[in-house]
Structure 1
Amino acid sequence: MNLHSLLARRTEDAGPVRVGVLGAGKFSSMFLTQAVNTPGIHVVGVADLSTDRARAALDRTGWPAERYAAASFQEALRTGGTHVTDSADDLIDVPGLEVVLEITGNPIAGAYHADRAIDAGRHVVMVNVEADCMVGPVLAEKARKAGVVYTMAYGDQPALISELVDWCRTVGFDVVAAGKGTKYLPEYNQSTPDTVWDYYGFTEEQLATGDFNPKMFNSFLDGTKSAIEMAAVSNATGLLPQEEGLFFPPVDVDDLATALRPRELGGTLSRRGTVEVISSLNRDGSALARDLRWGVYVTFEARTDYAAQCFAEYGVRTDPTGRYGSLYRPYHMIGLELGVSVASAVVRGEATGAAQAFYGDVVSVAKRDLKAGEVLDGEGGYMVFGKLAPAPASLASRALPMGLAHGVKLTRDVAAGAVLSSDDVAVDESLTAVRLRRELESGVLAVSG
């Protein structure tokens, strides 16, 4: 509760935290608009393959042009300004840089950048959940050995869910389920970048701002992003995925404690101690009265009769037994909250959630019949969507992780609805992401329960 004062003290004693931002998309823009007025954070550099896009992001988020006009990193360090570059490697190597924010959204690039940053002695805030759910346990262990922090991004839902789980366990409740809300119908699994805006209903004016990437938003819609985020939560908290993955039941916030409990008690879960994403829409497409589309939740059980009695005495909304309760946060503010992770890593040496072991994975499922010779287009595209699976099941079937389902050529046909195998594609084994994934598959025990 004193993170702000700790950051202020650190700034007074040693200057602001020196941060490098990799990627200049929507999440980065949300962080930048906060960082421009945060004395405790010095954005030394922003790296993006398009420097014009990076400068445009700084401009529209309130940065005066002179603040990001530094001609070099040396000038940025000397003047307190920001240098824009197209080289993530050069930014990672800046002397004295403390924190790297990996916000590219590309799992191959993200794994490489995080690996390099840890080698360079930088703390890593892994906004790139796509990379984290694929190789996070390996990167987290490498960071621990290197004495730096590897952390989820506060403000993004996985970190906020992990915080709720940590609260539950710290105060002594038994965690039953944790997750988030989203807009979901089963038909969305086949959505493509051509159909995504029809489902979302964004206006032409909104789309014209340049912040809306159709593949990224399609990943939110087709279930892939939900699977990715729940795999990351599973690996960070030890909550085991259900064998069937995610069911996306429509659940009103007032019904969380009743719906998000085991089926034998009348709930929707096939196991307790798990992750689940709830839909803001009934299966007929109608909206719930009080949905949790933008928020996160946890459901828990009182361990004693007295604790259950206290629920009743203090107005806790419970299931009919009075033993199951819930807590939820109605919103998450994405990059606007990312400074919490930056400060926590530097002044406390603590992660705002990080992978502990390999509990959950995201497997690639064909959206349509796929033919040998085609090149997969990855997350949010036309060809595959991601599905949550327990790590042992993924390993047993040699499933192709979603993070590797981009830019690889199919070596044989795959039927619509089938889970792709690693044997169905030709993967470049020289990539850092593939090396780390192989290390995870061979060196880290996938936990079952």
Structure 2
Amino acid sequence: MDTRTPAGRASDDSLVDALLRREREGRPVRVGLIGVGQMGTDIVVQTTQMPGIEIVAAADAIAERVSEACAIAGGSARQPTTAANPAEVATAIREGRLAVAPSYEAVCAAEGVDVVIDATGNPNVGAMVALATIAAGKHIVMMNVEADITVGSYLAAKADEKGVVYTLAAGDEPCCTMELINFVRSLGYPVVAAGKGKNNPLKFDATPDAYEEEAHRRNMNPRMLVEFVDGSKTMVEMVAVANAAGLVPDLPGMHGPAAPREELHKVLCPREDGGLLSRRGVVDFSVARGVAPGVFVIAEMRHPRIRERMEDLHLGEGPYYTFYRPYHLTSIEVPLSAANAVIYGRSLMRPLPVPSAEVGAVAKRDLAAGETLDAIGEYCYRGIALSRADALSLKALPIGLAQGAKVTRPVRKGEYLTYENCAPDESLMIAKVRKEQDAFVAGLEGR
């Protein structure tokens, strides 16, 4: 990828300088957006506030959402126009309009799209969008963390083969946590724990019918809200961090203490030092007020000179210290991932080739043989973070394969969904890709 400009190399610029240069030269980063719900609408609006980047094509199952998002964004957004296929999408882009396509394929394949953002939240759709984008030789930004924790290692490898970028989204808690992990590790210090504050009260058996009013008030889908409330989203996000950083949950579901920010390093540290952890190098979360919407890393710094300086800086006596980012801007930051991918060929976060953790599922209620499982955040199951070793031992069904799976044996409330009591829908793309990933990972481990 050639990032040179007439005035020099874009890689010499800061990101804002590079975007301003592209704005002046009339060659913005051209983004295709798949999924224009709450988050997708935010992205449409946010890109109109930035120089050198534009949404040029979009697809959603409800096409009217694209027009609604453009109306919310105001006059600086491209005007939407229907485009039925990749050629029509490309024509609309050249003519300065926002191509509204009936399917993700038309956006991913179209000339004039540099990078695609998947904002669908559906694991199977996410796998299809990512594969189509990579096959077309374009960069992919995955807001779809549910797909990433299921097949991300394989998708990242396919992107490497094609010479494009696979990256998770800036602004989401995993990417913000990785920012702190990379900072601490760059200074040479081991990560004891990394995690986030949980935004919603934790209620494992939450179901959408009880949250319709709150979801409507917050302009959210009830299923999406419940994915946060029942802990599934926290499990998904922390496993994404684990797989990118080589960390593990200390125990199934993590500890999730009510540790305030000032006490995190005293609670999420090894047992021999008064904490909860049986090992170093874990992911976890806190349910205490005042930690969310931030993310944190607990680092171990034992050199007496360094500890002297840390205490002088009012950061404590150590040897464990909390590094904390008090915010994550969710969809508002996502365009930064797209810009970094196109301008610098840089991924802000991606899974390692061999995963270290898995999100399994436990039943929210008794499940009868023959039932078809619903989606994450609905009535049948919730997510639980597992080390890869525990997941393999349990034969745990990855949560990304649960939707559409058939229950083959009765499962009692609180029991794990496994390959022995559930059968994934093998017709789904994500199930096929997961088989490819399992073979890919086995090959790496067998070297």
User: TM (normalized to structure 1)?
Assistant: 0.90
Q: Distance in 2 between matches of 1:165 and 1:359?
A: 16
Give runs of aligned pairs for residues 101-140 of structure 1, distance below 5 A. 101-140=117-156
1:16 alignment partner in structure 2: 28
Partner of 1:364: 361
Query: Does the residue aligned with 1:275 lie in a helix, a strand or coil?
Result: strand
Q: 2:247 aligns with which of 218, 232, 239?
A: 239
Worse overlay, 225-234 or 420-429? 420-429
Structure 1 residue 146 displacement after superposition: 1.2
Select 1:194's aligned residue among 187, 193, 209. Answer: 209
Measure, in 1, the Cα distance between the counterparts of 2:99 and 2:418.
43
1:78 aligned onto 2:61: no
Instruction: State how far apart, in whole Å, the 2-side matches of 1:276 and 1:61 are.
Output: 37
2:7 aligns with none
Deviation at residue 184 of structure 1 after TM alignment: 5.6
Match for residue 235 of structure 2 among 224, 227, 230: 227
Counterpart residue type for residue 378 of structure 1: A
Shift of 1:427: 2.4
Aligned position for 2:184: 168
C-alpha distance in 1 between matches for 2:312 and 2:77: 57
Q: CA deviation at 1:14?
A: 6.7
Higher deviation after alignment, 406-415 or 368-377: 406-415
Give the Cα–Cα distance (whole angstroms) in 1 for the partners of residues 336 and 437 of structure 2. Answer: 29
**Contact 1:70–1:81 (Cα < 8 Å) also in 2:** no
Unaligned runs of 5+ in 1: 281-287
SS in 2 for 1:375: coil
Q: How does 1:43-442 map to 2 (within 5 A)?
A: 43-62=55-74, 67-69=79-81, 72-183=88-199, 188-196=203-211, 206-207=217-218, 211-280=219-288, 288=289, 291-316=290-315, 318=316, 322-356=318-352, 357-442=354-439
Corresponding letter in the other structure for 2:348: T
SS at match of 2:342: helix
Mapped partners of 1:418, 1:127: distance in 2: 29
Q: CA–CA distance in 1 between the matches of 2:382 and 2:75?
A: 37
Task: Confirm or deny: 8 A CA contact 2:70 2:79 kept in the other structure.
Answer: no
What is the distance in 1 between the residues matched to 2:60 and 2:30? 18
Tell whether 2:40 aligns with 1:28.
yes
Q: Which secondary structure state, in structure 1, belongs to the residue aligned with residue 373 of structure 2?
A: strand
The answer to whether the 8 Å contact 2:360/2:417 transfers is yes
Please give the alpha-carbon distance, in whole angstroms, between the structure 2 residues aligned to 1:334 and 1:179: 16
Quote the Cα distance in structure 2 between the aligned partners of 1:376 and 1:63.
43
Any idea what SS the aligned residue of 1:180 has?
strand
- Where 1:374 maps in the other structure, the secondary structure is coil
Cα distance in structure 2, aligned partners of 1:403 and 1:436: 11
> 1:183 deviation in Å?
4.0
Instruction: Flag structure 2 segments of 5+ consecutive residues without an equivalent.
Output: 1-12
Q: Work out the CA distance in 2 between the residues paired with 1:65 and 1:151.
A: 25
Deviation by residue 1:271-315 (Cα, 9 ceiling, x = unmatched): 2111001103xxxxxxx4xx1121111110114111111101112
Q: Name the count of aligned residue pairs.
A: 427
- Distance in 2 between residues matched to 1:81 and 1:254, nearest whole Å: 50
Deviation at 1:391, TM superposition (A): 1.2
**Residues 395 and 441, structure 1, Cα contact 8 Å, conserved in 2:** no
The C-alpha deviation readout for 1:57-99, integer Å capped at 9, x for no partner, is 3322435686224654234322322111221001111013110
Matched-pair contact (CA < 8 Å) for 2:20–2:52? yes
1:366 touches 1:417 (CA, 8 Å); kept in 2? yes
Structure 1, 330-339 or 427-436: larger mean CA deviation: 427-436
* Residues 35, 241 of structure 1: alpha-carbon distance in 2 compared, 3 angstrom cutoff: same
Counterpart of 1:327 in 2: which secondary structure?
A: strand
Counterpart CA distance in 2 for 1:50 and 1:345 is: 28
Contact 1:43 1:81 in 2 (8 A): no
Alpha carbons of structure 1 residues 184 and 81: separation in structure 2 relative to 1, 3 Å: closer
1:302 partner letter: M
**Equivalent position amino acid for 2:301 in 1:** A
Distance in 2, Cα, partners of 1:405 & 1:351: 28
Deviations 1:90-110 (A, max 9, x none): 111101311010110000010
- Structure 1 position 141, deviation (Å): 1.2
CA distance 1:66–1:230, change in 2 (3 Å):
closer
Secondary structure of 1:179's aligned partner? strand
Q: By how many angstroms is 1:428 displaced?
A: 2.9
Quick one: distance in 1 between partners of 2:78 and 2:350? 36
Amino acid at match of 2:29: V
Partner of 1:444: 441
> Per-residue displacement from partner, 1:98-152 (whole Å, max 9, x unpaired)?
1010110000010111011111101000000000010101111111121100001
Superposed CA deviations along residues 389-439 of structure 1, whole A, max 9, x for unmatched, are 011221232211111111222122111111011232332324321122112
Closer, same or farther: CA 20–131 of 1 in aligned 2, 3 Å: same
**Shift, 1:33, TM fit:** 1.0
Q: Structure 1: how far apart are the matches of 2:404 and 2:314?
A: 53
Where 1:326 maps in the other structure, the secondary structure is strand
* More off after superposition, 54-63 vs 44-53: 54-63
Query: 1:407 is paired with a residue of what secondary structure?
Result: coil
